[in-house]
């Protein structure tokens, strides 16, 4: 769990995008920003420097998981080619014609499930299901349609908008099949998707994130450094039973 | 592709109630793959609620105009619930129409599953309701119940000496005797006995307990002439023949020739030789022919709404048909269809009333036979319009010539009787609540299913008997073979009957008086009359002494009837 800032801005989820098999970062930032990522991810997954549609807000424009990446129709051909060259061959990339072109704001996904904006085109929904190999659900989070902005999702858990009711959390949790918690990031900001980057083993938040928020994030995404003691904790019941 | 089109057509017909599932699939000559068609239709209907929900939420029909509702349901079923998916060419426009929305449909399906709280696909429609036990009637013309019980024990079944309590179907691989009908055996639900050698040879007959009641209550004596008014497919007819030991004559009528042929086949298999099948309507029978004028007992089980029958398939069809109606109402009206729904309710009520009128007509016709003494009227309905209301209408018309047989002779041990609140006032007979209760006590009801129900189909039986006219000449001594009346009586009952028969023997005059009312005896002299009656009274005494309780049921009926 690391904290980072892009040009003194705590919203790291806007300028970068993180999945289990690759990481995209915007160009034009300082080396400090990149070194944070490289410390955690060097030699594990490729870190790709790119722009999308000539902008730096790549985290909000594109969405993906380890199966694929979706980019908006405004992506230039060169950028698309660059991504195709840099991404691992297991990752499919697809440019999507969609009226709601900020895909990162309207789609939240992990490797199995995706939540989408209720007004998303059916065609886009089908593309999401095919390329990302996920089950797609039209949902709102705390009555907000921008699901990608207001939640951060990984295969282990999810963090949602702080005003999500318990009922909604239960419903979402059963759809997504992961535990959920409602919380904030970057000292009380409810735009979780913009403030947090997460995959199965690491997470990045803005430097403003309080330690309480950090502990909540680490708990729900199961990110603590788990030594041998954790294994014993989890397996304690079965071990004791077998000895008896 | 053709398969799906056929299946959609069948679903449409089921929705309009133009047939049964089995009739339209297995019995349909146009269907090439009958088993697959039957399976698809059953499964689609089983998951109808969930699939309709998915259809509604995804608004598939609004987006794809070419898809009809029934076709959409079938394709959805195959897409969502079958691992092999839709089995049709990819070029078929209907399949393409559905596959375009595959992601959405799958998502809605998951949401529907979560809503219902199902953990696996199979549990979507909720847990199975309590299943009815499999009732089996032993054909007493061929074997005794004990022999059949021994045969099953030899096969490996476990015999339970008493039925399980609280009332429930017997557990797997066990069976027991029924506590109300001693020729009946009770097996676990879904027991498949139709290939069992005893069934194939006609020793066992698969008949629901409820439909054994009418013949057991009517209990005609051995050489009587009996009419079964709406006989097909013939289970009650063969039960009557069994009770009469193949003596006398049974005239079985039914309008439907195909079903009448089934009756002929089933009764021949059951070894019944005294049945004559007629393909006519009961209402058109001539009461003056030599056979018909000897008829003393009539069993009537006329067409009814069938609301008591528990058949999961019928449930599915009914639910589907209703939903179709609702859907079309919603689609075609703008006001949400409240008026149409009310109209549908009205039609249903009218239908019940017209059924009731037909049933009254049937029983009234039965009462016109010159020598009839006992008429059993039964329905497999739970609605009072076909049950208590019909009985009260008949009593209004025909009392005091006819009355209801009292509870003592109508399955006295059966606990569930009619509903007093549905018995209307009859001038001279029913005025107070007590009268109503007494009338309701004479009839028998069964509530379908369980656990609050009686673990059988819903049913209603009422028995009418002529007041006063209680005997016929030429009745042979009571059937001494295995018990056929089959109605268990309590000890008090048996004692009471013994008392009455001995009374009848000593009071030679009262039977003589009653017998003089009999038209056929009018011509005979008084002396021969009293000789005859003393002989018959003597018969009563000896036979009553010789028989324990059950077999003598029929004769005792007449003897004790004299005293009323």
Domain holding B376: CATH number?
A: 3.40.50.150
Confidence of residue A22 (pLDDT cuts 50, 70, 90): very high
On the question of pLDDT at B126 being above 50, the answer is: no
Q: How far apart are CA B140 and CA B204, in angstroms?
A: 9
Could you tell me if B521 lies within 8 Å of chain A, comparing CB atoms?
no
On the question of pLDDT at A36 being above 80, the answer is: yes
Nearest to B110 among A128, A129, A135 (CB): A135
Least-confidence region, from A136-150, A193-207, B102-116: B102-116
Confidence of residue B353 (pLDDT cuts 50, 70, 90): confident
Tally of domains in chain B: 3
Q: How far apart are CA B274 and CA B267, in angstroms?
A: 10
As given in the structure block, the two tokens for residue B225 are 């002439």
Same domain? For B82 and B22 the reply is yes
Same domain? For B102 and B226 the reply is no
Q: What is the CATH number of the domain that holds B204?
A: 3.30.70.1170
**B175, B186 contact by CB (below 8 A):** yes
Confidence of residue B546 (pLDDT cuts 50, 70, 90): very low
Check B107 against A137: CB less than 8 A apart: yes
Name the E strands within B93-201: 134-138, 158-160, 174-177, 184-187
Q: Considering B100, B127, B154, which residue would you say is the last residue of a domain? A: B127
Could you tell me if B102 lies within 8 Å of chain A, comparing CB atoms?
yes
On the question of pLDDT at B246 being above 50, the answer is: yes
Distance from CA of B319 to the nearest CA of A (A): 29
Check A137 against B110: CB less than 8 A apart: yes
B440 or A126: which leads in pLDDT: A126
Q: How far apart are CA A207 and CA B12, in angstroms?
A: 64
On the question of pLDDT at B116 being above 80, the answer is: no
**B98, B76 contact by CB (below 8 A):** yes
- Chain A residues whose CB is inside 8 A of the B110 CB are 135, 137, 175
On the question of pLDDT at B27 being above 70, the answer is: yes
SS3 B430: strand
Could you tell me if B115 lies within 8 Å of chain A, comparing CB atoms?
no
SS3 B227: strand
Q: Considering B111, B127, B143, which residue would you say is the last residue of a domain? A: B127
Q: How far apart are CA B323 and CA B321, in angstroms?
A: 5
Which has the closest alpha carbon to B348: B320, B322, B317? B322
Q: How far apart are CA B563 and CA B540, in angstroms?
A: 14
Whether B549 is covered by a domain: the verdict is no
Which has the closest alpha carbon to A157: A200, A194, A206? A200
**B444, B461 contact by CB (below 8 A):** yes
Whether B315 is covered by a domain: the verdict is no
Which has the closest alpha carbon to B9: B24, B27, B29, B20? B24
| CB neighbours of residue B347 within 10 Å | 10
What integer is the mean pLDDT of A132-140? 94
As given in the structure block, the two tokens for residue B420 are 């007093």
CB contact residues (below 8 A), chain B span 213-242, against chain A: none
Same domain? For B437 and B499 the reply is yes
Q: How far apart are CA B238 and CA B244, in angstroms?
A: 10
**B298 HSE (CA, 13 A, CB side):** 31
Q: What is the DSSP letter of B477?
A: P
Nearest to B110 among A126, A129, A175 (CB): A175
Confidence of residue B334 (pLDDT cuts 50, 70, 90): low
Whether B438 is covered by a domain: the verdict is yes
The residue of chain B nearest to residue A118, with distances taken between CA atoms, is B104
Give the residue ranges of the annotated binding site of B for S-adenosyl-L-methionine: 230-236, 254, 301
Asked if the bond preceding B400 is cis, omega within 30° of 0, the reply is: yes
Check B114 against A138: CB less than 8 A apart: no
Candidates A126, A169, A172, partner chain B, best to mutate (most B CBs within 10 A)? A126
Q: How far apart are CA A192 and CA A213, in angstroms?
A: 11
Could you tell me if B59 lies within 8 Å of chain A, comparing CB atoms?
no
Specify which of A57-71, B125-139, B445-459, B538-552 reaches the highest per-range mean pLDDT: A57-71
Whether B461 is covered by a domain: the verdict is yes
Same domain? For B432 and B459 the reply is yes
Whether B31 is covered by a domain: the verdict is yes
Check A122 against B107: CB less than 8 A apart: no
The residue of chain A nearest to residue B103, with distances taken between CA atoms, is A126
Q: How far apart are CA B559 and CA B536, in angstroms?
A: 10
pTM: 0.60
Which has the closest alpha carbon to A93: A141, A127, A50? A127
Distance from CA of B84 to the nearest CA of A (A): 18
The residue of chain B nearest to residue A171, with distances taken between CA atoms, is B114
Beta-bridge partners for B251: B227, B276
Whether B77 is covered by a domain: the verdict is yes
Give the residue ranges of the annotated binding site of B: 230-236, 254, 301
CA B492 from chain center: how many Å? 30
Same domain? For B49 and B159 the reply is no
On the question of pLDDT at A24 being above 80, the answer is: yes
Whether B316 is covered by a domain: the verdict is no
The residue of chain B nearest to residue A133, with distances taken between CA atoms, is B103
Candidates A114, A129, A172, A177, partner chain B, best to mutate (most B CBs within 10 A)? A129
Same domain? For B97 and B70 the reply is yes
Distance from CA of B269 to the nearest CA of A (A): 58
Same domain? For B295 and B207 the reply is no
Distance from CA of A128 to the nearest CA of B (A): 9
**A70, A103 contact by CB (below 8 A):** yes
As given in the structure block, the two tokens for residue A77 are 């051909």
Whether B141 is covered by a domain: the verdict is yes
Check B114 against A126: CB less than 8 A apart: no
| Known catalytic membership, residue B380 | yes
Q: What is the pLDDT of residues B252-279, one digit of tens each?
A: 988 888 888 889 998 888 888 889 998 8
As given in the structure block, the two tokens for residue B308 are 């008591």
Nearest to B107 among A135, A171, A174 (CB): A135
Q: How far apart are CA B315 and CA B263, in angstroms?
A: 26
On the question of pLDDT at B553 being above 60, the answer is: no
SS3 B160: strand
**B457, B380 contact by CB (below 8 A):** yes
Name the E strands within B155-223: 158-160, 174-177, 184-187, 204-206
* pLDDT at residue number B332: 66
- Residue A89, φ and ψ in degrees, nearest 5: -70, -20
On the question of pLDDT at B551 being above 60, the answer is: no
**B31, B286 contact by CB (below 8 A):** no
The residue of chain A nearest to residue B60, with distances taken between CA atoms, is A122
* pLDDT at residue number A89: 95
- Chain A residues whose CB is inside 8 A of the B63 CB are 122
Q: How far apart are CA B180 and CA B163, in angstroms?
A: 11
Q: What is the pLDDT of residues B430-467, one digit of tens each?
A: 778 888 888 888 888 888 876 677 788 888 889 988 88
- Decide: residue A165, CB within 10 A, 0-12 exposed, 13-18 middle, 19+ buried: exposed
* pLDDT at residue number B168: 80
Same domain? For B123 and B190 the reply is no
Q: How far apart are CA B175 and CA B155, in angstroms?
A: 12
* C-alpha distance from residue A204 to each of A19, A153, A233, B525, B535 (Å): 12, 13, 27, 118, 110
Q: What is the pLDDT of residues B205-222, one digit of tens each?
A: 888 888 888 888 888 888
Candidates A119, A122, A172, partner chain B, best to mutate (most B CBs within 10 A)? A122
Check B111 against A175: CB less than 8 A apart: yes
Least-confidence region, from B151-165, B242-256, B301-315: B301-315
* pLDDT at residue number B513: 43
Q: How far apart are CA A204 and CA A185, in angstroms?
A: 11
Same domain? For B122 and B138 the reply is no
**A84, A93 contact by CB (below 8 A):** yes
Residue B199 structural domain: 134-213
ipTM of the shown complex: 0.80
What integer is the mean pLDDT of B279-289? 86
Check B104 against A171: CB less than 8 A apart: no
What integer is the mean pLDDT of A57-78? 96
Distance from CA of B111 to the nearest CA of A (A): 7
Same domain? For B368 and B305 the reply is yes
Asked if the bond preceding A233 is cis, omega within 30° of 0, the reply is: no
Q: How far apart are CA B540 and CA A75, in angstroms?
A: 106
Least-confidence region, from B302-306, B478-482, B537-541: B537-541
Asked if the bond preceding B233 is cis, omega within 30° of 0, the reply is: yes
Share the mean pLDDT of chain B: 77
SS3 B29: coil
**A153, A175 contact by CB (below 8 A):** no
On the question of pLDDT at B238 being above 70, the answer is: yes
Which has the closest alpha carbon to B235: B203, B277, B263? B263
A239 contacts: CB under 8 Å, gap ≥ 6: A232
Q: Between β-strands B444-446 and B374-379, what pairing exists: parallel, antiparallel or unpaired?
A: unpaired
What integer is the mean pLDDT of B245-254? 89
* pLDDT at residue number B347: 80
On the question of pLDDT at B489 being above 70, the answer is: no
* C-alpha distance from residue A174 to each of A137, B42, B113, B119, B556 (Å): 12, 30, 10, 11, 69
What integer is the mean pLDDT of B388-410? 85
Q: What is the pLDDT of residues B354-380, one digit of tens each?
A: 888 888 888 888 888 888 889 999 888
Q: How far apart are CA A69 and CA B126, in angstroms?
A: 40
* pLDDT at residue number B541: 40
Could you tell me if B116 lies within 8 Å of chain A, comparing CB atoms?
no
Least-confidence region, from A96-100, B45-49, B491-495: B491-495
Same domain? For B383 and B239 the reply is yes
On the question of pLDDT at B415 being above 80, the answer is: yes
Confidence of residue B482 (pLDDT cuts 50, 70, 90): low
The residue of chain A nearest to residue B104, with distances taken between CA atoms, is A136
* C-alpha distance from residue B323 to each of B12, B352, B440, B453, B530 (Å): 12, 21, 36, 26, 69
> Of the listed B253, B304, B362, B380, which one is catalytic?
B380
**A72, A96 contact by CB (below 8 A):** yes
**B105, A127 contact by CB (below 8 A):** no
- Chain B residues whose CB is inside 8 A of the A175 CB are 110-111, 114
Check A128 against B114: CB less than 8 A apart: no
Confidence of residue B530 (pLDDT cuts 50, 70, 90): very low
Q: Considering B127, B151, B181, which residue would you say is the last residue of a domain? A: B127
- Residue A73, φ and ψ in degrees, nearest 5: -70, -20
Q: How far apart are CA B236 and CA B87, in angstroms?
A: 45
Same domain? For B491 and B532 the reply is yes
Nearest to A122 among B104, B110, B114 (CB): B104
- Chain B residues whose CB is inside 8 A of the A174 CB are 114
């Amino acid at each position: 769990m690391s904290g980072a800032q892009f040009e003194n801005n705590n919203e790291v989820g806007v300028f970068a995008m993180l999945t289990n098999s690759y990481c995209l970062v915007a160009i034009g930032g300082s080396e400090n920003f990149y070194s944070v990522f490289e410390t955690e991810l060097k030699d594990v997954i490729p870190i790709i420097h790119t722009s999308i549609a000539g902008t730096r807000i790549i985290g909000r424009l594109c969405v993906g998981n380890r199966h694929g990446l979706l980019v908006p129709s405004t992506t230039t051909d060169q950028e698309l080619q660059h991504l195709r060259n840099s991404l691992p061959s297991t990752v499919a990339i697809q440019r999507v014609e969609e009226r709601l072109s900020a895909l990162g704001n309207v789609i939240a996904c992990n490797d199995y499930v995706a939540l989408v904006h209720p007004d998303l085109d059916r065609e886009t929904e089908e593309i999401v299901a095919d390329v990302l190999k996920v089950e797609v659900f039209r949902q709102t989070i705390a009555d907000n349609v921008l699901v990608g902005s207001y939640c951060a999702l990984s295969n282990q858990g999810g963090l949602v908008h702080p005003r999500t009711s318990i009922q909604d959390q239960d419903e979402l949790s059963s759809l997504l099949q992961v535990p959920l918690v409602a919380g904030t990031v970057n000292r009380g900001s409810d735009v979780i998707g913009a403030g947090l980057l997460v995959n199965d083993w690491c997470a990045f938040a803005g430097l403003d994130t309080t330690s309480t928020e950090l502990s909540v994030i680490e708990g729900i995404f199961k990110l603590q450094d788990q030594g041998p003691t954790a294994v014993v904790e989890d397996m304690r019941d079965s071990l004791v039973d077998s000895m008896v | 592709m053709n398969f799906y089109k056929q299946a959609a057509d069948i679903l449409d017909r089921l929705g309009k109630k133009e047939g049964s599932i089995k009739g339209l699939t297995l019995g349909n000559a146009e269907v090439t793959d009958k088993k697959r068609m039957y399976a698809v239709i059953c499964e689609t209907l089983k998951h109808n609620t969930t699939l309709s929900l998915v259809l509604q939420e995804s608004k598939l029909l609004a987006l794809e105009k070419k898809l009809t509702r029934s076709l959409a349901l079938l394709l959805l079923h195959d897409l969502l619930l079958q691992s092999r998916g839709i089995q049709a060419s990819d070029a078929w426009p209907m399949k393409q129409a559905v596959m375009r929305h595959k992601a959405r449909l799958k998502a809605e399906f998951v949401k529907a599953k979560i809503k219902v709280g199902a953990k696996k696909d199979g549990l979507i429609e909720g847990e199975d309701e309590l299943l009815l036990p499999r009732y089996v009637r032993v054909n007493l013309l061929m074997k005794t119940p004990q022999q059949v019980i021994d045969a099953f024990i030899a096969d490996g079944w476990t015999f339970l000496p008493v039925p399980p309590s609280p009332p429930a179907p017997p557990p797997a691989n066990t069976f027991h005797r029924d506590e109300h009908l001693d020729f009946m055996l009770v097996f676990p639900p879904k027991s498949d006995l139709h290939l069992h050698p005893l069934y194939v040879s006609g020793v066992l007959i698969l008949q629901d307990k409820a439909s054994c009641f009418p013949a057991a209550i009517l209990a005609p004596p051995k050489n009587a002439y009996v009419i079964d008014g709406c006989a097909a497919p013939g289970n009650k007819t063969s039960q009557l023949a069994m009770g009469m030991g193949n003596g006398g004559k049974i005239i079985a009528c039914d309008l439907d020739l195909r079903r009448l042929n089934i009756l002929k086949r089933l009764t021949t298999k059951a070894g019944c030789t005294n049945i004559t099948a007629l393909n006519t309507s009961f209402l058109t029978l001539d009461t003056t022919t030599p056979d018909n004028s000897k008829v003393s007992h009539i069993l009537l089980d006329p067409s009814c709404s069938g609301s008591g029958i528990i058949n999961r398939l019928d449930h599915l069809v009914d639910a589907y048909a209703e939903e179709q109606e609702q859907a079309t109402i919603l689609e075609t009206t703008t006001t949400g269809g409240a008026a149409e729904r009310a109209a549908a309710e009205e039609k249903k009520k009218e239908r019940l009333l017209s059924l009731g009128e037909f049933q009254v007509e049937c029983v009234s016709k039965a009462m016109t036979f010159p020598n009839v003494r006992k008429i059993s009227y039964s329905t497999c309905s739970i609605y009072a319009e076909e049950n208590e209301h019909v009985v009260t209408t008949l009593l209004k018309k025909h009392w005091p010539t006819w009355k209801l047989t009292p509870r003592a002779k109508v399955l006295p041990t059966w606990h569930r009787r009619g509903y007093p609140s549905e018995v209307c006032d009859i001038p001279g007979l029913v005025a107070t609540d007590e009268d109503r209760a007494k009338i309701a006590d004479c009839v028998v009801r069964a509530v379908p299913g369980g656990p609050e129900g009686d673990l059988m189909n819903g049913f209603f039986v009422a028995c009418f008997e002529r007041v006063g006219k209680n005997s016929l000449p030429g009745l042979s001594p009571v059937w001494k073979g295995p018990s056929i009346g089959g109605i268990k009586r309590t000890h008090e009952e048996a004692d009471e009957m013994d008392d009455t028969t001995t009374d009848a023997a000593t009071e030679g005059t009262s039977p003589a008086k009653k017998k003089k009312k009999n038209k056929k005896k009018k011509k005979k002299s008084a002396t021969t009359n009293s000789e005859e009656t003393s002989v018959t009274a003597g018969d009563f005494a000896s036979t009553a002494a010789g028989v324990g309780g059950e077999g003598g049921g029929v004769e005792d009926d007449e003897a004790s009837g004299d005293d009323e």
